[in-house]
Structure 1
Amino acid sequence: MTGRTYFAPQGGLPPQTRLHTGRAVFTDAYAVIPKGVMSDIVTSALPFWEGARAWILSRPLSGFAETFSQYILEVAPGGGSDRPEPEADVEAVLFVLEGALTVTLDGQSQVMQPGGFAFLPPASGWTTRNDGATPVRFHWFRKAYDFVDGIDVPDAFFVNEADVAPHPMPDTDGVWATTRFVDPTDMRYDMHVTIVTFEPGGVIPFEETHVMEHGLYVLEGKAVYRLNQDWVEVEAGDYMWLRAFCPQACYAGGPGKFRYLLYKDVNRHAKLAFR
């Protein structure tokens, strides 16, 4: 874990003396939820979760991003859930920011430390508990699995970022790299959650414009990010939510690495609703 940091919200409220002007914005193409917005007052309680609260960063909205939801959950010592997922066809990815999260699947328990990643297929019946002495904070991605006749549903697995080598992006001399937790050519997966890392001064050197929706949570560092027609400053703890085809690029600002947790939907045909 040496050299890796994962920013996690702590809650609280700003003082009455603070100006309310901030960096939060919601447009037709993207949203930015800065870390300062993630206060106590915007958290949600969830059914069948004890000692827990959630910052719900994204959810399907008609006309905006529609494939997934993303939470940051904070679970107090002794808290957790024996019925975390209410929908049988929903898959999950968990990524731990702080603390230790125990996840039980098929009678076997895994203790996930910071940097821990879990893929949990639909109807897997997983449960979770904080057996530690301090709160645990983790991302929870939820997506209705897109079943395809003739393609199996992937199995559950657990891994830690520390055990996965980043893949340098082509022609970048390693200043832009992606940590991939699954094989991107494996058609069983209909979403990818990766970690993108830029060295100081690294860039996305063109405006990516593509069908995949994105959720981007900044784990470390700062950058200037291009979203549609705007340049916005982002830093550790900020969240960006992009609908399909929103142009995007970035400059990593330094002095350290700029790293973010990235969701995108993949490996499926576009749905044709009217035919």
Structure 2
Amino acid sequence: MGYINDQIGYPNDILSSRSIIKRDNYALIPPAGLVRNIIPGFENCDVTILASPKLGATFVDYLVTLHDGGRNQQGFGGENIETLVYVIEGKVTASADSSDYELTSGGYLYCPAGAMLRLENANGGKPSKLFLYKRVYNRIKGYEAHVVSNNVNNLEKIHYEGMSDVILQDLLPKDLGFDMNIHILSFKPGASHGYIETHIQEHGAYVLSGAGVYNLDNEWIPVKKGDYIFMAAYVPQAGYAVGQEEFSYIYSKDCNRDVDL
């Protein structure tokens, strides 16, 4: 199995962790203590499962490092599973069934249900680091999702709720064919949400840069680059940036559907 930070053997200090796990509510998962999971189809890869239904999520998030020769040619997703891959660092060749896409840092590929996602490291022998997502697609009559590939550097930078120092980027179209979206939210130093949110949508968020303090169920918790946050439905949530670096994270959101009874 092994730990992704390669801290093995005898400890150098007392055992401690910043992890906070409150199933069906929220979780903070820092890099220290994350393990490598063996997942069929992934070759020469370190794969770590972050959020899953065992935590209370309706989706699964992964952190994946493709080493030299790293790939998944067996396919990921398909049938009723939608998937998305986002390149944190490096370069990969990703495919949605028979179409190939060259993705560099900030690049992403969404595969709708029925399309298999395949991955291969293309970073000249150096590792590539990915954020990977999957979810059961919630289909509605008359609408379908489709393949989407782009790079965040090409996306519109939206002033989040009119605030010029908080920038939102939508990775997927605002279209009823999509039952979810992936966003990147970026805070300039000292910027924050305008209020503490409470809503039905759940989130899985991976911190890409900087540091902040996040309100999770009215507990203010320090977070930083490399941390993962799970927020269940109706958990009060908000954050603000601290330090001198931009605080940003990529996160998923279920949307565009009514509630099933």
Matches of 2:172 and 2:122 in 1, distance apart?
A: 28
Taking structure 1 as the reference length, the TM-score comes to 0.88
Give the SS at the match of 1:81: strand
1:78-227 correspondence to structure 2 within 5 Å: 78-85=69-76, 88-132=79-123, 133-151=125-143, 153-172=144-163, 174-184=164-174, 186-227=175-216
2:32 to 21, 36, 39: 36
The reply to whether residue 24 of structure 1 matches residue 19 of structure 2 is yes
Matches of 1:86 and 1:150 in 2, distance apart?
A: 22
Cα offsets for 1:137-177 (capped at 9, x unmatched): 101100111011111x22112111111121001232x1111
**How far has the Cα of 1:188 moved from its partner?**
0.9
Question: Aligned in 2, Cα 1:253/1:110: closer, same or farther, shift over 3 Å?
Answer: same
Taking structure 2 as the reference length, the TM-score comes to 0.92
Residue identity matched to 1:66: A
Q: Which runs of 5+ in 1 are unaligned?
A: 1-8
Matches of 2:141 and 2:81 in 1, distance apart?
A: 17
**How far has the Cα of 1:238 moved from its partner?**
0.4
Q: Which runs of 5+ in 2 are unaligned?
A: none
- The answer as to whether partners of 1:65 and 1:242 remain within 8 angstroms in 2 is no
Tell me the C-alpha RMSD between the 2 structures: 1.7
Cα offsets for 1:1-25 (capped at 9, x unmatched): xxxxxxxx96311662133222101
Question: Aligned in 2, Cα 1:110/1:219: closer, same or farther, shift over 3 Å?
Answer: same
Cα offsets for 1:223-243 (capped at 9, x unmatched): 110000211000000011011
Partner residue of 1:5? none
**How far has the Cα of 1:180 moved from its partner?**
0.8
Matches of 1:49 and 1:36 in 2, distance apart?
A: 22
Q: Which has the higher strand share?
A: 2
- The answer as to whether partners of 1:115 and 1:161 remain within 8 angstroms in 2 is yes
Q: Which runs of 4+ in 1 moved over 6 A?
A: none
Residue identity matched to 1:181: L
Question: How many residues are treated as equivalent by the alignment?
Answer: 256
Give the SS at the match of 1:162: helix
1:268 to 251, 257, 260: 257
Question: Aligned in 2, Cα 1:206/1:18: closer, same or farther, shift over 3 Å?
Answer: same
- The answer as to whether partners of 2:85 and 2:109 remain within 8 angstroms in 1 is yes
Question: Aligned in 2, Cα 1:199/1:138: closer, same or farther, shift over 3 Å?
Answer: same
- The answer as to whether partners of 2:4 and 2:31 remain within 8 angstroms in 1 is no
- The answer as to whether partners of 1:34 and 1:237 remain within 8 angstroms in 2 is yes
Question: Aligned in 2, Cα 1:205/1:36: closer, same or farther, shift over 3 Å?
Answer: same
Matches of 2:256 and 2:121 in 1, distance apart?
A: 34
Matches of 1:136 and 1:245 in 2, distance apart?
A: 35
**How far has the Cα of 1:87 moved from its partner?**
5.1
Percent identity over paired residues: 27
Question: Aligned in 2, Cα 1:86/1:189: closer, same or farther, shift over 3 Å?
Answer: closer
